[in-house]
Structure 1
Amino acid sequence: MSIMTHNGHRAGVRGRALIAALLGCSAIVTVGATGARAQATNDDVIVLDTIVLQGDGDGTADGSFVTLQSGGAGRLETPFLDSSASVSVITEAEIQERGASSVEEVLQYSAAVFTDQYGADNRYDYYMIRGFDAYAYRDGLSLGTPFGGVREETYAFDQVEVLKGANSTAYGVSDPGGSVNYRTKLPKSERFAESYVTAGSFDRAEVGVDFGDNLTKDDTLSYRVTAKVSKGELEYDESRDDEKFFMGGLTWRPSDATSVSVVVDVLDIDSTPGSGGFPEGGDFDRSEYFGEPDFNYLTTDRTSTTVMLDHDFGGGLSLNSSLRYSDIEQTFGYVYVSSTPTTGTIAGRSAFTQDSSGQSVIGDAHLQYDGYFDKIDSRSVVGVEYSKSTADEVLGFDSATSIDWTNPVYTGAPDSVATYSDTLTEQRGHAIYAEQELTFAGKYVASAGVRHDWLDTKVVDNLYGTTSRADISETTARAGLTYKATNELSVYGSYAQSVVPASVGLEPERGEQYELGVKYAPLASRATFSAAIYDLTKNNITQTDPVTYVESTIGEVRVRGLDLEAKAELTPNVSLTAAYSYMDSKIIEDDDDSTEGNNLSFVPEHLASLWVHYLFEGEGNRGDQTVGLGLRYIGSYYYDDANTESTGAHTLVDASYSYQINDQTKLALNVTNLLDEKYVAYGGFGSDFYNEGREFTATLSHSW
């Protein structure tokens, strides 16, 4: 099974038609606004009232799904129309409206993002962008790949950014498909508070708080506390899903030019890794369990401390730096269905374990200079990054007793599980980078970046008593050009490179992307529309089986595709987010020629989603009510690069409802997979893993 996917695309007539359709929709909005202005005669002068949008300084109005600014493709905060990259931003308002409680749920309405490809496997956050595994970052500092990492707590973030395409030039290691950056909630210079209680399916109970205030009268020192405790089960028997999360932050503002924030967060997860799978070809209830209740555990204990410093020297020069230290212990063990007989009802099973611990420190510091030279606006960034980590990991794999799926009898935890890997990995990284943006005549925005990474890795194999080393020195670059045809419309083109270190002894995985796009942000409403076509290639592919961790390689893969995305507040009462992605993936070169010409695994040719949110304004004693309805279409995809087995296309329905009891109190109901659609999300290796079933939650929140 591959954890790397890629996509290809034949834009052709279909791509041009879809882009035309998107721009046509945008044109309707523009014509409507123009028509309204045209009602005045030539002698009339209409003075419109000033419109003030209250926001957080990032282009996001309070309570809005739409943001007009993001991190773009680098370290520079960039207006939507200026950026030569495809970026989706999921605001806190959208996360709350959809009741998204996991990273996968946060991302699943974004263009080019495919989530939940392993069904009821709950070990990690599973998502891919433009057909590739995506790296994750927090406040611009790398978290690594989510596969094998930590299930992040979404209540810690006030915004999630999805960058489509390579960004190694800005942030280092990344795949060419894209990456995800989480923005941590920081203290505010005002008093605020929120608390909530949630009850839901599978005996879920949860309580959370998020509050802060100034500690000094002059607003120079502020604090924030964010915490939650949840307890419950998952949709299968013999499961649990408990979590404790605490985050505390202090922000010191000794002057208007300087801000220092310190954030400490602790994540404690006590859960189960997954359903253990089902015998192939059957139609089982999701609640059935064919693993071992006495050997089914997943624990995570992580503590992180982050320091962020911003200082404005004046004259256009500023400094931004951040440093994070993390300590983590993570273990899991489970028995799963590993083979299904062609006759009879006795399924083979295997046991798998992981025991890992590690510490890491990563820091970044960069200077930014904003200037104006001979009618040219200039923004420049130069920076350095340092990282160091150690990780101990022990992996075990063994056969387990078989089970009769018509009359399951549990036999208890295995006496032992054979260790097949026991390693200590030490890694040290250094990087220097630079970015330059030039704006000519307010219409042409040229951007370029270059970065060089040095990465030293030492792996001690405790089973064989050997030590291996690898030194990587790689340069990546990015360039883009945006033309702002009007104050509402821009077109752009870009080229970007990516690099990912492979296992010791293997060449780094290198990727590159060409992209063309168009963006539209009508002045008459708060909305953003974008369309992009792209061509991705990646070489020296290393693939890892998610069960056994056994690695294999593919020479070169290609993904070509089309992304369409819209986020719009159509009226004060109606808002929506919509996305469509077409991906055409192909294995160009395989080291053993066995899969050349095939599609990549876990790459649907089509992905589409639509979320519509409607506000019914209150009247008299009746408070505001909102209704949300979402549709997610997932096209068929193969489970393996050999293209031997696949799943069909499916449409899932989500919904939400909220009632504003009073100015401070709200009741919200959310349901995912409303129609309880069931399909095999992953299979073909001895067992089937279904997608997640219907789940309800009811949340009562109070703010003051």
Structure 2
Amino acid sequence: MQGYVASRSTAGTKTNASILEVPQSISVVTRRQMEVRNVQREGEAFRYTAGVFAEPYGADSRPLFDAPIIRGFDATTNGLYRDGLREANGVWGRFLTEFYGLERVDVLKGPSSVLYGQGGPGGVIDKVTKKPTDNARGEVYMQGGTFDRKQGAVDFSGPLDADKRFLYRIVGMVRDSETQFRYDGDKSVPDIRQYVAPSLTWRPTDDTSLTILGDWLHNRSAGPFTLTFANQSYTRIMTGDPSFNKSDVTQGTVGYRFEHKLGDAITFRQNMRYGAHDLQYNNMTASSITATGIVNRSATMIDEQIYSFALDNAAETKFATGPLEHTALAGIDYQSATYTTRTRAGGGPTLSLVYPVYGQLVTQPTTVTSYSHQTATQLGFYGQDQIKFDNFVLTIGARYDDARSTTTNYRTSAVAIKTDNEPSYRVGLNYLFAFGLAPYVGYSRAFLPTAGTDFGGNPFKPTFAEQIEGGLKYQPQDFPGMFAIAYFDLTQQNVLTPDPARPATTYKVQTGEVNSNGLEVQATLNPIPGLDIVAAYTHNPVRVTKDNANSQGVSFIGRRPAYIAKDYGSLWADYTIQDGSARGFGIGAGVRAIGPTYADSANTVQNKGYTLVDLTLHYEPKHIPELERFRLQLNVNNLLDRLHIVCTATTNCQWGAERSIVGTLFYRW
């Protein structure tokens, strides 16, 4: 990585391949870009990334709804990975990632089951953890800003012995903040987090390394729902209560990354992670409104635990057969995840629209509405060969998965067992011109198991996704940069739709299909010293292509799925003065334009498009000996405080992120 620019990625091939050689579109958000933009969470990371619709749920502070959409498909459930291993999820909860603990984020777009197993059609987001460094280094920062934000962090790393056989790193962060969602003058939805991540590397020989990674995270927030009427009249009245509403997550993970080289030709790698996650989620929403302005509310309590295990074994070998140079990969991976979730529901206290009173006593719900346990496993066998001949790179990959799940409904004692055995494929061809241009074309196929059964008790088949993609990548020879343009045609089949023979029920049949095609353009470059530019544009007309009519006889064929923008683009530029008395001073600005989205599948409620402006100012006086270790930074998101609304249902709307101002003081050595 050079600043904002990354030229290689393990996400696309699980080898250290050049991005130019991968027959799929890849975008990389580097540590430098995350720092300058003050990225704190999932949605913020991808605001300037082509093909990723970053914040479909507005300023929702709950981690589960910090949900990026890739090429028209939600990546939260099956597309989030850390260090190549999937981050598991349950019904309401999922493992979270603290972005200060990351070195970079790779986005591999399009079906990617051939390397990662069962997954969504949109692609894979792989978050790469900070690891111990060869050289001693450290960083401390303090941060404060809008919504009474107080945050601090540390990052220490280096060798433990003179031979650098043992390396360590400790990363930690603490945040105590409110949010823009306020119940009244002194009560706000919180944004609280504590995080610590120790790691240790042991290198007994030059050919062998073992890195042990651990982390612990606690996050507290709450549902940000405000009262909205059916005619889309928006209010600032919160439907919950600060004495009851919460989204409280506590999790921990531990794992390792092992690598051993057998000579110059063969490398064996094994990655493992185990995690435990606990979610306590309370929410209160409006159920009805009387003619006199009294809101009747319902209360829900959700208790969920997730335990996950993931193991990936891969052997990479390099050899030649005549004029063909091979980089072959063979692997076996296994993952299991179990979750137990219990939901209780009941009535809540009423709320006056005229004089809303918060801090009321809320009787905890006792009626159990759902109580289930699921265990899901996946065993996969995969192989890949990257074949180079002259300037051509042919990538061929295949995989076979055995996916099983057992779901127990504790309320009814019903047990559902499901098994899916499916292959996945990828083939692509790149041509590498000497001056850095690489045209490519590729085909990929992925599958994703589908939970549930039809009216006859027959388990649903997996959904399948197929994609054809072609494009150009260009890496300049004169300065760090990566340009990419891609056209893709992606179809997901076996999508669930209402059962037309039973219109008064919730039964489903599997005849649906969604097509996502479009154009992505991304440029990341450092054309002159001190100047970094990121530009992105996405045209993605997703539509339903097969469907069954619902109980009212309405079909959604030709409609656009909810929460997905058809067009969105962004431009970010940051410049740091290199010479003179102002050396070290920098300014960056960005603009994000988001097109309209729909709040419902019938496309009857539309969210208006909006354009937002971001700004950063920073100063790093390396030419002043007494101050050379300091960096002062100011970030302003939504500089013009443009108000925008995001509706995720016909009567459920949220405010987009308001203007936020955050100042940070770094000290480094």
The alignment's TM-score, normalised by the length of structure 2, stands at 0.91
Q: How far apart, in 1, do the equivalents of 2:181 and 2:156 lie? A: 35
**1:494–1:397: structure 2 CA closer, same or farther, 3 Å change rule?**
farther
* 1:636 aligned onto 2:619: no
Question: Larger deviation: 228-237 or 84-93?
Answer: 228-237
- Match in the other structure for 2:475: 521
- Match in the other structure for 2:29: 90
* Unmatched segments (≥5 aa) in structure 1: 1-59, 545-549
**1:415–1:573: structure 2 CA closer, same or farther, 3 Å change rule?**
closer
**1:212–1:684: structure 2 CA closer, same or farther, 3 Å change rule?**
closer
Question: Larger deviation: 644-653 or 415-424?
Answer: 415-424
* 1:140 aligned onto 2:101: no
**1:197–1:655: structure 2 CA closer, same or farther, 3 Å change rule?**
same
Q: CA deviation at 1:573?
A: 2.7
- Match in the other structure for 1:368: 316
Contact 1:74 1:169 in 2 (8 A): no
Paired residue secondary structure (1:73): coil
Q: How far apart, in 2, do the equivalents of 1:145 and 1:571 lie? A: 43
Question: Larger deviation: 68-77 or 511-520?
Answer: 68-77
Give the count of matched residue pairs. 634
- Match in the other structure for 1:300: 249
- Match in the other structure for 2:531: 574
- Match in the other structure for 1:537: 491
Residue correspondence of structure 1 range 79-228 to structure 2 within 5 A = 79-123=18-62, 124=64, 125-134=66-75, 135-144=79-88, 148-228=93-173
Q: CA deviation at 1:109?
A: 0.8
**1:344–1:650: structure 2 CA closer, same or farther, 3 Å change rule?**
farther
**1:78–1:254: structure 2 CA closer, same or farther, 3 Å change rule?**
same
Q: How far apart, in 2, do the equivalents of 1:344 and 1:179 lie? A: 50
- Match in the other structure for 2:371: 422
Equivalent of residue 246 in structure 1, options 178, 196, 206: 196
Q: How far apart, in 2, do the equivalents of 1:658 and 1:150 lie? A: 33
**1:525–1:335: structure 2 CA closer, same or farther, 3 Å change rule?**
same
Higher RCO structure, 1 or 2 (CA under 8 Å, sep 6+): 1
Paired residue secondary structure (1:240): strand
* 1:624 aligned onto 2:624: no
**1:250–1:488: structure 2 CA closer, same or farther, 3 Å change rule?**
same
- Match in the other structure for 1:26: none
- Match in the other structure for 1:489: 437
Q: CA deviation at 1:417?
A: 5.2
Q: How far apart, in 2, do the equivalents of 1:348 and 1:113 lie? A: 38
Q: Which amino acid aligns with 2:83?
A: D
- Match in the other structure for 2:605: 645
Contact 1:72 1:83 in 2 (8 A): no
Q: CA deviation at 1:348?
A: 4.5
Q: CA deviation at 1:283?
A: 6.3
Contact 2:270 2:312 in 1 (8 A): yes
Question: Larger deviation: 258-267 or 480-489?
Answer: 480-489
- Match in the other structure for 2:563: 602
Q: Which amino acid aligns with 1:136?
A: L
- Match in the other structure for 1:564: 521
Contact 1:169 1:449 in 2 (8 A): yes
Q: How far apart, in 2, do the equivalents of 1:516 and 1:348 lie? A: 54
Q: How far apart, in 1, do the equivalents of 2:238 and 2:117 lie? A: 42
Residue correspondence of structure 1 range 276-425 to structure 2 within 5 A = 276-279=226-229, 281=231, 288-338=237-287, 345-410=293-358, 411-416=360-365, 418-425=367-374
Q: CA deviation at 1:285?
A: 6.8
CA shift digits 1:316-356 (9 cap, x unpaired):
10001101010111111111235567x66444533333211
Contact 2:56 2:564 in 1 (8 A): no
Q: CA deviation at 1:242?
A: 1.3
Contact 1:72 1:78 in 2 (8 A): no
Q: CA deviation at 1:701?
A: 0.5
Question: Larger deviation: 595-604 or 253-262?
Answer: 595-604
- Match in the other structure for 2:660: 695
Contact 1:306 1:323 in 2 (8 A): yes
Q: CA deviation at 1:304?
A: 0.3
* 1:666 aligned onto 2:635: no
- Match in the other structure for 2:501: none
Residue correspondence of structure 1 range 667-682 to structure 2 within 5 A = 667-682=632-647
Contact 1:318 1:367 in 2 (8 A): yes
Q: Which amino acid aligns with 2:71?
A: R
Q: How far apart, in 1, do the equivalents of 2:322 and 2:533 lie? A: 42
Question: RMSD value over aligned CA atoms?
Answer: 2.1
Q: How far apart, in 2, do the equivalents of 1:615 and 1:102 lie? A: 25
Paired residue secondary structure (2:100): helix
Contact 1:223 1:251 in 2 (8 A): yes
Q: How far apart, in 2, do the equivalents of 1:283 and 1:231 lie? A: 32
Q: CA deviation at 1:107?
A: 1.3
Paired residue secondary structure (2:558): coil
Contact 2:95 2:277 in 1 (8 A): no
* 1:65 aligned onto 2:19: no
Q: How far apart, in 1, do the equivalents of 2:664 and 2:69 lie? A: 30
Q: Which amino acid aligns with 2:220?
A: D
**1:506–1:348: structure 2 CA closer, same or farther, 3 Å change rule?**
farther
Q: CA deviation at 1:129?
A: 0.4
Contact 2:225 2:652 in 1 (8 A): no
Q: CA deviation at 1:204?
A: 0.9
Contact 2:617 2:633 in 1 (8 A): yes
**1:551–1:640: structure 2 CA closer, same or farther, 3 Å change rule?**
farther
Aligned-pair identity in percent equals 27
Q: Which amino acid aligns with 2:38?
A: G
- Match in the other structure for 1:273: 223
Q: Which amino acid aligns with 2:215?
A: D
Q: CA deviation at 1:282?
A: 6.2
**1:281–1:97: structure 2 CA closer, same or farther, 3 Å change rule?**
farther
Q: CA deviation at 1:280?
A: 5.1
Q: CA deviation at 1:585?
A: 1.4
**1:595–1:535: structure 2 CA closer, same or farther, 3 Å change rule?**
same
Q: CA deviation at 1:235?
A: 1.1
Q: How far apart, in 2, do the equivalents of 1:394 and 1:90 lie? A: 37
Q: CA deviation at 1:554?
A: 6.3
Q: CA deviation at 1:82?
A: 1.5
Q: CA deviation at 1:150?
A: 3.3
Equivalent of residue 383 in structure 2, options 434, 449, 461: 434
Equivalent of residue 259 in structure 1, options 209, 212, 215: 209
Q: Which amino acid aligns with 1:581?
A: T
Q: How far apart, in 1, do the equivalents of 2:347 and 2:489 lie? A: 43
Q: CA deviation at 1:688?
A: 1.8
Q: How far apart, in 1, do the equivalents of 2:15 and 2:287 lie? A: 48
Q: How far apart, in 2, do the equivalents of 1:226 and 1:695 lie? A: 25
The alignment's TM-score, normalised by the length of structure 1, stands at 0.87
Equivalent of residue 686 in structure 1, options 643, 651, 656: 651
- Match in the other structure for 2:394: 446
**1:453–1:294: structure 2 CA closer, same or farther, 3 Å change rule?**
same
Q: How far apart, in 1, do the equivalents of 2:335 and 2:155 lie? A: 31
Contact 1:133 1:145 in 2 (8 A): no
Q: CA deviation at 1:400?
A: 3.6
Q: CA deviation at 1:474?
A: 1.1
Paired residue secondary structure (2:461): coil
CA shift digits 1:2-43 (9 cap, x unpaired):
xxxxxxxxxxxxxxxxxxxxxxxxxxxxxxxxxxxxxxxxxx
CA shift digits 1:283-318 (9 cap, x unpaired):
6675x5231121111111111001110111014100
Contact 1:136 1:145 in 2 (8 A): no
